[in-house]
Chain A
Amino acid sequence: MLRQASQTSVSDGLAVEAVDLVKDFGETRAVDGVSLSVPVGSIYGLLGPNGAGKTTTLRMLLGIIDPSSGRRRLLGHERPIDAAPEVGYLPEERGLYPAMHARDAIAFMGALRGLPLREGRDRADALLANHELGEWARKPIRNLSKGMAQTVQLLGSIIHRPRLIVLDEPFSGLDAINQGKLERLIRDQAASGVTIIFSTHVIAHAERLCERVAIIAKGKVAFDDSVAAARERLRPIVRLRTRAADGPWRAAFPPNARRDGDEWVFELPLNGPEPLLKALIDGEAGIETLAIERPGLHDAFVAIAGGDAAAEMGQPETAP
């Protein structure tokens, strides 16, 4: 149940809260009952394949479109537009006025969020200089490379020093160097207390950056918790190579243990590694190698969203 007071959710520690958001486009249900809770100051990832409903969810959270049903609250405001001066947004489809100078484009985006134009220009000059784009400040956007233009738009989304930054597929189209710069910028903003939500279909980015993730598939939230909790959903994997091919120690293996070349691969039994080790030693299995691997976010994603969704995620773009 949502509370009414404007600052309640922020004081409760939630920058964004969504309850049962549904969005229908004609006969198609793009988002089906999405509920999210984004803690203040966290880096929160929306993870899912293309078409899962990430962008539509973000657009509803920001008030660009209204949900068919459900409720959302942004920085304590029931109407997202009321929170607009404290929100920065980088949409998936990048767009700037081609004839505008870089500093003016950044200042314009700040002005839309309530920042005085003159102050916006001064800040834009400083930000562009900090991002090695100082000499491009007074050049039209159309003269900038794609990566530079994306950086300009990103700077435009933080120029007014928002408390919440929403980035829709921010790494899309960036080369490895610029992806690294963007990751640093996200971490810097988060370090100063800004809440960051970003959507991605590249698991590696979410795994590196996010404290919490929501996994969205087919318009539904399949998981919403910390990255650690996602990984803890899976048992650690044991990889074992023994000198003896068989013996009574095999009884300590779970039923789904399988051979992978000359290795045994199976989930770590619920009673932990000690009984397994005891059985191997007592049974003189002759341990050659034994590895207990913690599952990655990708494994967790496959387990949570299914193999098909994982396949749709595709290969990660060049990651730094």
Chain B
Amino acid sequence: MRRLLRGAFVIARRDFAATVLSKTFLFFLLGPLFPLLLGAVSGGIGASVASETEKPFVAVVSSQADFAALDAARSQLGEAVDQDALVRFVHYAPASNTSAQVKRLLATRHPAIRAVLTGGLAAPHMTGPLAGDPGTTGQLRLIIANAKSPPKTTTIAVTETRASSGSLAKDQALTAQIGQGLLFILTILLCGMLLSQLIEEKSNKIIEIVAAAVPIDSLFVGKLFAMLAASVIGIIVWTSCGAAAIALLKPGGLATLPPPAVGWPTFLMLVVLYFAMNYLLLGAVFLTIGAQASTAREVQTMSMPVTFTQVVIFGFAATAVGNPDSIKALIAAVFPLSSPMVMLARAAQEPELWPHLLALCWQAVWVAVILRLGAQLFRRTVLKSGPRVKWWRARRA
């Protein structure tokens, strides 16, 4: 064991230095910022377009008095429901030819008209393609009724509390989803890199020197932990940037984030531990698969099915959010490759800590098992000279 760890340390130190001290590591650190920037830009454009296109107006052809009553009733309704969900009005004075005016208004593009209300409060009539939009007609019915006879206002005394079980459950489910999502994105970003980790040693033939000097397990463990250490640097940078962005841009800053069931300090510690476990588990699998590849082309061919597999595992883990004690959630927690993501979601929703201790031990055992199997497969299929044996035929060789 001592020899294995010493060898792993030597390999990891070399790999870590080679990764972190290279110029390309800066691009690695900047990498996640590009999709975020792209998302922010496209999200901003999308929101702007949506605000202009998805909220058309109802043209009200009526007297000024009727329109004022309608607008007041709409404002009152706006206190109860989201303003964005409310129909918007634009007023037009009645013309001599009502049907021609309605036809012209329905064709108007600035502003875009959803429907035309004629007949005032006395005989309201809606014209427009409203068959698939019962909400607009329903809102109009309510607004017109209130405009005709405004309801009496009632004052309700409100005592404000910080949270309730209902709000907490919703917030914690959101935290669980965010935690799982982050874990998935980080792992998918980093594990792909492990596919090509052994190409360097294989292509420059140094693998012979390493294999003669240290157990092959050391090579696998060293490579895996070197990438983990480099990833942790990335995560520290990305997390710091993210926290700074939230503190600067979100009113109330970090304190407004929904609190997890185990509390923020424990949750953050578990995020680190489960990230490490998720990374080590999937990384060990990918390192093993990638070790069979001889060329960069083979690695590229492997990367797509590997990514899809990760998506499937994420989908499996996501079923546990909201109901962490269900059979499905328990199966996903026991299955090693989805276990870290499921357990992180559980930490957001359930306060008990002992299941995490158990899960971390279970996951550590599987990291060791996968690494051992990977090293054996590598020895058997890659290191031996002579005719090459395909890894899927290794059992028969």
Chain A: residues with CB nearer than 8 A to chain B?
Answer: 25-26, 28, 30, 55-56, 59, 62-66, 81, 84, 87, 89, 91, 93-100, 108-109, 111-114, 117, 153, 156-157
Q: Is there a chain A Cβ closer than 8 Å to B192's Cβ?
A: no
Closest B residue, CB atoms, query A94: B205
Chain B: residues with CB nearer than 8 A to chain A?
Answer: 3, 6-7, 10, 13-14, 18, 22, 200-201, 204-215, 379, 383-387, 389, 397
* Contact (Cβ within 8 A) A95 B7: no
Beyond known contacts A26-B397, A55-B385, A81-B214: 14 more, CB 8 A cutoff: A64-B212, A64-B383, A65-B384, A89-B209, A89-B212, A91-B208, A91-B209, A93-B208, A95-B208, A97-B206, A108-B14, A111-B10, A112-B214, A156-B209
| Assembled-state Cα–Cα distance A111/B215 (Å) | 14
CB<8 Å pairs between A and B, sample of 24: A25-B384, A25-B385, A26-B387, A55-B385, A56-B385, A62-B212, A65-B379, A66-B379, A84-B3, A84-B213, A87-B212, A89-B208, A91-B208, A93-B205, A93-B208, A95-B201, A95-B204, A95-B205, A95-B208, A97-B14, A97-B206, A112-B10, A112-B214, A153-B209
**Do A25 and B386 contact each other (CB < 8 Å), given the known contacts A91-B205, A97-B206?**
yes
| Assembled-state Cα–Cα distance A94/B383 (Å) | 15
Inter-chain contacts of B214 with A (CB < 8 A): 81, 84, 112
* Contact (Cβ within 8 A) A95 B206: yes
Inter-chain contacts of A108 with B (CB < 8 A): 10, 14
Instruction: Select which of A25, A89, A96, A153 is within 8 A of B213 by beta carbon.
Output: A89
Inter-chain contacts of A111 with B (CB < 8 A): 10, 13
The minimal Cβ–Cβ distance linking B196 to chain A, given in whole angstroms, is: 15
**Do A96 and B385 contact each other (CB < 8 Å), given the known contacts A89-B212, A89-B213, A111-B10?**
no
| Assembled-state Cα–Cα distance A100/B15 (Å) | 11
Inter-chain contacts of A55 with B (CB < 8 A): 385
Instruction: Select which of B212, B379, B385 is within 8 A of A84 by beta carbon.
Output: B212
Closest B residue, CB atoms, query A105: B206
Which 7 A-B pairs rank lowest in CB-CB distance, beginning with the nearest?
A95-B205, A25-B386, A112-B213, A91-B208, A95-B206, A93-B205, A95-B204
Inter-chain contacts of A65 with B (CB < 8 A): 379, 383-385
* Contact (Cβ within 8 A) A28 B10: no
| Assembled-state Cα–Cα distance A28/B397 (Å) | 12
Closest A residue, CB atoms, query B386: A25
The minimal Cβ–Cβ distance linking B328 to chain A, given in whole angstroms, is: 44
The minimal Cβ–Cβ distance linking A67 to chain B, given in whole angstroms, is: 11
The minimal Cβ–Cβ distance linking B25 to chain A, given in whole angstroms, is: 13
**Which secondary structure dominates chain A's binding surface?**
mixed
Closest B residue, CB atoms, query A90: B209
Inter-chain contacts of B212 with A (CB < 8 A): 62-64, 84, 87, 89, 91
* Contact (Cβ within 8 A) B204 A30: no
| Assembled-state Cα–Cα distance A88/B14 (Å) | 20
* Contact (Cβ within 8 A) B389 A109: no
The minimal Cβ–Cβ distance linking A65 to chain B, given in whole angstroms, is: 5
| Assembled-state Cα–Cα distance A99/B208 (Å) | 18
| Assembled-state Cα–Cα distance A16/B157 (Å) | 92
Inter-chain contacts of B7 with A (CB < 8 A): 112
Instruction: Select which of B13, B207, B389 is within 8 A of A95 by beta carbon.
Output: B207
Which of the listed residues A25, A93, A95, A113 has the most CB atoms from chain B within 10 Å of its own CB? A95
* Contact (Cβ within 8 A) B204 A97: yes
The minimal Cβ–Cβ distance linking B170 to chain A, given in whole angstroms, is: 51
* Contact (Cβ within 8 A) A96 B206: yes
* Contact (Cβ within 8 A) B204 A96: yes
The minimal Cβ–Cβ distance linking A149 to chain B, given in whole angstroms, is: 11
The minimal Cβ–Cβ distance linking A27 to chain B, given in whole angstroms, is: 8
Instruction: Select which of B22, B206, B383, B389 is within 8 A of A26 by beta carbon.
Output: B389
* Contact (Cβ within 8 A) B211 A64: yes
| Assembled-state Cα–Cα distance A99/B24 (Å) | 13
Inter-chain contacts of B18 with A (CB < 8 A): 97, 99-100
**Do A28 and B386 contact each other (CB < 8 Å), given the known contacts A81-B215, A95-B205?**
yes
The minimal Cβ–Cβ distance linking A184 to chain B, given in whole angstroms, is: 23
* Contact (Cβ within 8 A) A25 B387: yes
Closest A residue, CB atoms, query B3: A81
* Contact (Cβ within 8 A) A64 B208: yes
**Do A26 and B386 contact each other (CB < 8 Å), given the known contacts A93-B205, A93-B208, A95-B207?**
yes
* Contact (Cβ within 8 A) B210 A112: yes
Closest B residue, CB atoms, query A65: B384
The minimal Cβ–Cβ distance linking A197 to chain B, given in whole angstroms, is: 13
| Assembled-state Cα–Cα distance A95/B213 (Å) | 14
* Contact (Cβ within 8 A) B385 A113: no
Inter-chain contacts of B205 with A (CB < 8 A): 91, 93-95
* Contact (Cβ within 8 A) A113 B386: no
| Assembled-state Cα–Cα distance A87/B205 (Å) | 19
| Assembled-state Cα–Cα distance A108/B209 (Å) | 11
* Contact (Cβ within 8 A) B397 A112: no
| Assembled-state Cα–Cα distance A94/B206 (Å) | 7
| Assembled-state Cα–Cα distance A63/B18 (Å) | 28
The minimal Cβ–Cβ distance linking B18 to chain A, given in whole angstroms, is: 7
Closest A residue, CB atoms, query B393: A26
| Assembled-state Cα–Cα distance A28/B387 (Å) | 8
| Assembled-state Cα–Cα distance A109/B212 (Å) | 11
| Assembled-state Cα–Cα distance A97/B215 (Å) | 20
The minimal Cβ–Cβ distance linking B377 to chain A, given in whole angstroms, is: 14
The minimal Cβ–Cβ distance linking B202 to chain A, given in whole angstroms, is: 9
The minimal Cβ–Cβ distance linking B264 to chain A, given in whole angstroms, is: 40
| Assembled-state Cα–Cα distance A108/B210 (Å) | 10
The minimal Cβ–Cβ distance linking A278 to chain B, given in whole angstroms, is: 58
Inter-chain contacts of B213 with A (CB < 8 A): 84, 89, 109, 112-113
Inter-chain contacts of A30 with B (CB < 8 A): 385-386
Inter-chain contacts of A98 with B (CB < 8 A): 204
Closest B residue, CB atoms, query A55: B385
| Assembled-state Cα–Cα distance A62/B13 (Å) | 24
Inter-chain contacts of B379 with A (CB < 8 A): 65-66
The minimal Cβ–Cβ distance linking A62 to chain B, given in whole angstroms, is: 5
